[in-house]
C-alpha cells in the first residue's frame, strides 16, 4: 500500500517535471528546491486537465497512417480530441476526473451511416418481400401519407437514435419530411446528422407543392445552419420523382446556404428504363446535363451506374452511399462498389431506412457489404474487410461531407468514438481486429458511444434519451398504423405472476 502510494508520488513528480521541462526548463527546479514535501503529501499535479480520457485495449484510429495503438488512450477536452497515444504517454501529459476505462476492448471512430430515413424506424417490418415500386406505392407512401407529421418523425427519429447509439453509429445522413423536427430529435439524442429535407413531385406531408417545399426548406436551412452537430441539407428524392425544375430549385437553395444535396440515384433497373425513356440518357448523365451534379452531392445507391457514369460522378466529385442490405431486400441489384471506388468516387456505407433493411446496425452492414461484393463478382478478394471498415468510418464521413470533423481519431477532430467488447463467446477468439469487427461483431458488442465528447451510451444507459418513453411511443404508433392498415400484429401480454415451476431468486 505504502509502496504504491510512494510510486504514485514519484510518477506524479516525474510527470510534473517532464511537463514543465518542455515549456519552462528554469521553473522546473523551483518546486523541488522550495521544500521537501512530507512523504504522503500529494505532489502538485502539473499535467494538463482534460474533460475525459478513454483507455483502450486496442485503439483503432483510421488516421492517414492507419495507426492501431495497443494500450492506447484518447484525451478529450470539451468536444475535441486533444491527444492520442499510448496510455503511458497520455497519462503522463493529461489528467482528468472522467476516466473511461475500456482497457479490455477496442476503441475506434464512431460509425457513419451515410444514408437512412431515421423516422421510418416506426415502419420497421410493416411490409416486406415486395418489389421497390409496389412496396413504395402500396405500402410505404400510403402509410406515410396518413401518418407522417412532426410527432411521427420525432418519435421515429428518437427510436432510430436509440438504435444508432446502441449499435455504435455516431453520425448519419438522413432524408425525410419535417427535418426540422428530425433535427430536434437528433439534437436531443446528441448524435451528429446531415439532415435532408425531401423534395418530391407529388403532394407529400408538409409539401403540398413546390412553393411550399421551397418555403419549408428555406426555413429549415435558416434555423439549423451553423449548429455544431446538425448540418441541414436539401434532398430531392430521385431523378424519376423530381422534375428538372424541382432539382434545380433544391440545388439553388443548397448553393445559397452552402448545404449538401442528397439524392437517390440509379437504385433500380426500372429507374434506368424510366429515365432512358424520358430523357434518352442515364440518370447520372441527365443530372449532369441539367447542371445538378457537384461536390456537395451525395448519391444514395448508385447500383446501376456504368463506367461512363462513374467518370462523370468522379469528375464532379459526387460521393456515394452504398446500401447493401436494402439493395438485397428489394432486389434492386448489386452496386459495383469496387469499380466505383476505383474510379475515384468516395463511397460511404449505409443501412437505408429500417423499413427496407430492417435495422440500422452498421456492423451488419459492413459484414453484408463485403460478402455481397464477393458473391456479386464471384471473387472472394473483392471489397476486403479493411476497405469496408474505411467505408463505415473515414470514407463515410467524407461521403457525407464531414471528413474533416469525424470518421477518424485524430487530434483536433470531434471526439466521436465507440468501444467494442469482443470478449463474448460469439466473438472469440480474435486473430485479426478488422476481421473480427467486420465479419464477426454486431452492434450488441458496443459498450460506449460518444459524440462531441459526450457519452450517449455507457454500456447500460442512455444519458440523453428516455428509452422507456420512446419505446412506449413507438408501440402507440404501431397500434395506430396496424389499425389503419388492418394488420394482424402480434401481441405481447404483460407477464403474469411467475409459474409455480419457476424458481424465485
- Three-state SS string over 431-460 comes to CCHHHHHHHHCCHHHEEEEEECCEEEECCC
Q: How far is CA 45 from CA 24, 49, 92, 94, 481, in A?
A: 16, 9, 10, 10, 60
User: Residues 302-341: x/- map of binding to Zn ion (CB under 5 A)?
Assistant: ----------------------------------------
Q: CB-wise, 74 or 111, nearer to Zn ion?
A: 111
Question: Cα 59 to the chain's mean position, in Å?
Answer: 19
Q: CB-wise, 238 or 343, nearer to Zn ion?
A: 238
Residues in 234-253 at the binding interface with Zn ion, rule: CB under 5 A: none
Q: How far apart are CB 376 and Zn ion at their closest, in Å?
A: 20
Q: How far apart are CB 323 and Zn ion at their closest, in Å?
A: 7
Q: Taking every pair of C-alpha atoms in the chain, what is the biggest distance, in angstroms?
A: 88
Q: CB-wise, 59 or 120, nearer to Zn ion?
A: 120
User: Residues 403-432: x/- map of binding to Zn ion (CB under 5 A)?
Assistant: ------------------------------
Residue whose grid cell is 404501431: 478
Q: How far apart are CB 264 and Zn ion at their closest, in Å?
A: 5
Q: CB-wise, 230 or 238, nearer to Zn ion?
A: 238
Q: How far apart are CB 465 and Zn ion at their closest, in Å?
A: 24
Q: CB-wise, 330 or 394, nearer to Zn ion?
A: 330
Q: How far apart are CB 118 and Zn ion at their closest, in Å?
A: 11
Helix (H) or strand (E) holding 13: helix 2-23
Q: CB-wise, 352 or 364, nearer to Zn ion?
A: 352
Spatial distance between the Cα atoms of 361 and 336, rounded to a whole number of angstroms = 22
Q: How far is CA 5 from CA 2, 112, 358, 361, in A?
A: 5, 44, 54, 45
What does the DSSP assignment read for 72-118? EEEEEETTEEEEEEEHHHHHHHEEES-EEEEEEEEEEEPEEEEEE-G
Using CB under 5 A as the binding criterion, the count of chain residues that bind Zn ion stands at 1
Spatial distance between the Cα atoms of 20 and 12, rounded to a whole number of angstroms = 12
Q: How far apart are CB 411 and Zn ion at their closest, in Å?
A: 35
Residues in 2-61 at the binding interface with Zn ion, rule: CB under 5 A: none
Residues in 339-378 at the binding interface with Zn ion, rule: CB under 5 A: 352
List helix spans (H) across 316-407: 324-329, 337-342, 362-377, 385-392, 394-399
Q: How far apart are CB 270 and Zn ion at their closest, in Å?
A: 15
Spatial distance between the Cα atoms of 389 and 110, rounded to a whole number of angstroms = 11
Q: CB-wise, 62 or 300, nearer to Zn ion?
A: 300
Best CA proximity match to 197, nearest among 219, 217, 182, 212: 217
- Which residue's Cβ has the minimum distance to Zn ion? 352
Question: Cα 237 to the chain's mean position, in Å?
Answer: 21
Q: Where are the beta strands (DSSP E) in 304-368?
A: 319-322, 347-349
Quote the cell numbers at residue 150: 412532426
Q: How far apart are CB 195 and Zn ion at their closest, in Å?
A: 14
Q: CB-wise, 352 or 416, nearer to Zn ion?
A: 352
Q: CB-wise, 193 or 453, nearer to Zn ion?
A: 193
Best CA proximity match to 54, nearest among 72, 80, 77: 72
Quote the cell numbers at residue 179: 427535418
Q: How far apart are CB 287 and Zn ion at their closest, in Å?
A: 17
Q: Which residues bind Zn ion (CB under 5 A)?
A: 352
Amino acid at each position: 500500500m505504502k509502496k504504491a502510494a510512494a510510486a504514485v508520488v514519484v510518477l506524479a513528480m516525474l510527470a510534473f517535471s517532464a511537463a514543465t521541462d518542455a515549456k519552462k526548463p528554469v521553473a522546473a527546479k523551483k518546486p523541488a528546491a522550495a521544500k521537501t514535501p512530507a512523504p504522503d503529501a500529494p505532489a502538485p499535479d502539473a499535467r494538463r486537465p482534460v474533460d475525459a480520457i478513454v483507455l483502450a485495449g486496442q485503439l483503432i484510429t483510421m488516421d492517414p497512417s492507419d495507426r492501431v495503438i495497443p494500450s492506447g488512450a484518447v484525451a478529450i477536452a470539451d468536444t475535441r480530441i486533444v491527444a492520442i497515444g499510448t496510455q503511458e504517454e497520455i497519462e503522463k501529459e493529461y489528467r482528468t476526473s472522467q476516466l473511461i476505462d475500456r482497457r479490455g476492448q477496442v476503441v475506434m471512430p464512431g460509425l457513419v451511416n451515410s444514408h437512412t430515413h431515421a423516422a421510418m424506424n416506426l415502419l420497421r417490418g410493416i411490409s416486406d418481400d415486395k418489389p421497390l415500386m409496389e412496396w413504395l406505392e402500396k405500402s410505404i407512401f400510403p402509410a406515410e401519407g396518413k401518418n407522417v407529421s412532426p410527432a411521427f418523425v420525432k418519435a421515429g427519429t428518437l427510436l432510430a437514435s436509440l438504435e444508432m447509439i446502441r449499435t455504435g453509429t455516431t453520425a448519419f445522413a438522413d432524408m425525410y419530411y419535417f427535418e426540422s423536427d428530425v433535427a430536434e430529435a437528433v439534437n436531443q439524442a446528441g448524435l451528429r446528422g446531415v439532415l435532408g429535407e425531401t423534395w418530391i413531385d407529388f403532394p407529400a406531408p408538409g409539401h403540398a407543392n413546390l412553393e411550399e417545399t421551397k418555403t419549408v426548406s428555406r426555413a429549415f436551412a435558416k434555423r439549423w445552419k451553423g449548429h455544431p452537430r446538425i448540418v441541414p441539407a436539401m434532398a430531392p428524392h430521385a431523378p424519376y420523382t423530381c422534375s428538372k425544375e424541382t432539382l434545380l430549385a433544391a440545388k439553388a437553395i443548397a448553393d445559397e446556404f452552402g448545404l449538401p444535396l442528397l439524392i437517390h440515384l440509379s437504385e433500380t433497373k426500372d429507374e434506368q428504363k424510366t429515365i432512358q425513356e424520358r430523357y434518352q440518357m442515364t440518370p447520372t448523365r441527365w443530372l449532369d446535363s441539367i447542371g445538378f451534379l457537384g461536390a456537395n452531392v451525395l448519391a444514395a445507391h448508385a447500383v446501376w451506374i456504368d463506367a461512363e457514369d462513374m467518370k462523370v460522378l468522379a469528375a464532379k466529385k459526387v460521393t456515394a452511399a452504398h446500401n447493401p442490405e436494402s439493395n438485397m431486400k428489394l432486389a434492386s441489384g448489386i452496386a459495383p462498389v469496387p469499380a466505383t471506388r476505383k474510379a475515384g468516387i468516395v463511397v460511404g456505407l449505409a443501412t437505408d431506412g429500417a423499413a427496407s433493411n430492417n435495422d440500422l446496425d452498421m456492423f451488419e452492414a459492413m459484414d453484408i457489404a463485403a460478402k455481397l461484393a464477393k458473391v456479386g463478382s464471384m471473387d472472394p478478394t473483392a471489397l476486403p474487410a479493411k476497405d469496408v471498415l474505411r467505408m463505415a468510418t473515414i470514407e463515410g464521413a467524407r461521403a457525407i461531407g464531414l471528413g474533416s470533423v469525424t470518421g477518424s481519431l485524430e487530434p483536433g477532430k470531434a471526439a466521436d468514438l465507440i468501444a467494442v467488447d469482443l470478449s463474448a463467446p460469439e466473438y472469440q477468439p480474435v486473430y485479426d481486429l478488422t476481421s473480427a469487427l467486420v465479419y464477426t461483431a454486431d452492434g450488441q458488442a458496443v459498450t460506449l458511444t460518444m459524440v462531441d465528447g459526450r457519452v450517449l451510451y455507457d454500456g447500460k444507459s442512455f444519458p440523453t434519451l428516455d428509452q422507456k418513453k420512446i419505446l412506449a411511443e413507438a408501440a402507440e404508433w404501431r397500434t395506430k398504423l396496424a389499425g389503419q392498415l388492418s394488420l394482424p400484429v402480434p401481441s405481447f401480454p404483460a407477464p403474469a405472476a411467475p409459474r409455480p415451476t419457476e424458481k424465485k431468486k
